[in-house]
Structure 1
Amino acid sequence: MDQEVVVITGAGSGLGSALAKKYSEMGAYVCLLGRNEAKLKNTANVLHNEYSIYQLDVSVKGEVDKVFQAIYQEVGPIDLLINNAGTGTFALAEQIDEKSVHDMIDVNLKGTIFCSQAVLPNMKERNKGIIANIVSTAGLEGKVTESVYCASKFGVKGFTESLLAELKDTSVKVYGAYMGGMKTEFWDGIYSEEQTENLMDPDDVADIIIDNLKPRRNMFVPQVVIKNKF
């Protein structure tokens, strides 16, 4: 396939959906991945180009391997993987229940690892491709009521930096985006509408990420920090 093939996890809403729309407008073939098929279809309805929908839980390695194998067979080699899927539960450390602890580590950290493992052999073989990890500023500093969320994101930061080191002598690129809170449904039930009113727009964050990932001669941006004004 001559088109760029872009795979986005957590593509049903928020930043994942914004990235999918923009890459589609740019002519890419976008593969929408996520747990909620209805949300993925909502994203697909506004795409300008060819796309595929794959329902999966990124924290289950068997599902990940099966879906990525299907993408290779049905669409072709993956040029850009955006590990965007994420989940968060926010409370004081001792109040976070066991299921939430597992969910955050499984989706945020293991999901990023499993999806990256699924593309690395082919990207290394072709000596081409980009893995972009959407990490959050929670991967840079500890925050009140976000202890386990931060722990999962610090893990993603470590994984991202290790991949950078492993791939430094190849043409496969690794990118980390560390951004603050955005005005998305991620915060539903956590913050009030008034609290999220001044958060960053996912469209703006998507523009910055896409601009960073554009091929440039003798240059690549390995990471960017994007913060709210307040």
Structure 2
Amino acid sequence: MDNKVAVITGAGSGLGAALARKYSNDGFHVCLLGRTENKLESTAKTLPNKSYSIFSVDISSKKEVANVFANIKENLGSVNVLVNNAGVGVFELAEKLTEDAVHQMIDTNLKGTIFCTQEILADMKEQNSGSIINIVSTAGLEGKETESVYCASKFGMRGFHESLLVELEDTDIHVFGAYMGGMSTEFWDGILDESVTSGLMDPEDIADIIYHNASIRKHLNVEQVVIKNH
């Protein structure tokens, strides 16, 4: 129960997997959360520290999220770091987006972030410590063509993030937001050609920037970082 515990959603690939390796290397017990168990197991094999747990969960379900976080608290102790990283995107002109696509983006990107954060706030407030890291994307800063609902979900996530900063400003809980452009990950499979994705940012670089900026330091708080392709 003495382990530092980091919970990372969307840990099966890309940025989530890269951040899992960062926290694992720093001695955290890493809880890998995602929909697909075999992808989480693939991430687990790359961790430098073999102290980890895997939880298959649909974060858009309040009930599933509550069950997973109760399990984590009971077996591992309080969560020290929560990384809200899971996200889905369906890119199409606004009038062509299906109802299912709209629900999927709002439910995972926005509601999932809210549900996971709700589960750890009481403990973090009681202990007056902890970090909440919200992976928002530059889609939370500006509207983009064929990304109307994706942007809407990320603008919502940004609103939640900025409100948390206000709610927690008198505490020692650290709230950090990352707004980054496109990364070369499987997120874009079937959406962008490899000729495009090869010019996108490396998730390992992004993880490095987020990890170091989100580290807790005396007398300062980095509230957000914007990372763009050049």
Q: Same fold (TM over 0.5)?
A: yes
1:163-188 alpha-carbon deviations (Å, 9 max, x no partner): 10000001111111000000000000
Q: Which residue pairs with 1:178 in the alignment?
A: 179
Report the counterpart of residue 207 of structure 2 in structure 1: 206
Measure the CA separation in 1 of the matches of 2:110 and 2:42.
26
Instruction: State the Cα RMSD in Å.
Output: 0.7
Partner of 1:191: 192
Q: Secondary structure at the match of 2:30?
A: strand
Secondary structure class of the residue paired with 1:176: strand
Percentage identity across paired residues of the two chains: 63
Q: Give unpaired runs (5+ residues) of structure 1.
A: none
Aligned pair count?
229
* Runs of 4 or more above 6 Å deviation: none
Cα deviation, 1:54-111, whole Å, max 9, x if unaligned, reads 1100000000000000000111110000000000000100011100000000000000
Distance 1:140 1:208 in 2: 19
Deviation at 1:194, TM superposition (A): 0.4
Q: Distance in 2 between matches of 1:94 and 1:227?
A: 28
Q: Which ranges in structure 2 are unaligned for 5 or more consecutive residues?
A: none
Question: Which residue of the partner structure matches residue 34 of structure 1?
Answer: 34
> In the alignment, is residue 127 of structure 1 matched against residue 153 of structure 2?
no
Write the distance in 1 (CA, Å) between the matches of 2:123 and 2:217.
22
Q: Calculate the TM-score normalised by the size of structure 1.
A: 0.98
Report the Cα distance in structure 2 between the residues aligned to 1:188 and 1:48, rounded to whole angstroms. Answer: 27
Corresponding residue for residue 2 of structure 1? 2
SS in 1 for 2:113: helix
Q: Report if the CA contact (8 A) 2:3-2:76 is conserved.
A: no
Pairing 1:73–2:68 present: no
Provide the TM-score with structure 2 as the length reference.
Answer: 0.98
Q: Which whole-Å CA distance do the structure 1 matches of 2:214 and 2:92 have between them?
A: 34
**Equivalent-residue separation in structure 2 for 1:122 and 1:134 (angstroms):** 22
1:159 partner SS: helix
- Name 1:55's counterpart in structure 2: 56
State the 1:15 CA deviation: 0.2
Q: How far 1:23 sits from its partner (Å)?
A: 1.2
- Could you tell which deviates more after superposition, 23-32 or 107-116? 23-32
| Residues 114-160 of structure 1 deviation map (CA, whole Å, 9 limit, x = unaligned) | 00000001100111111110000000000000000000000000000
Matched residue, 1:167: 168
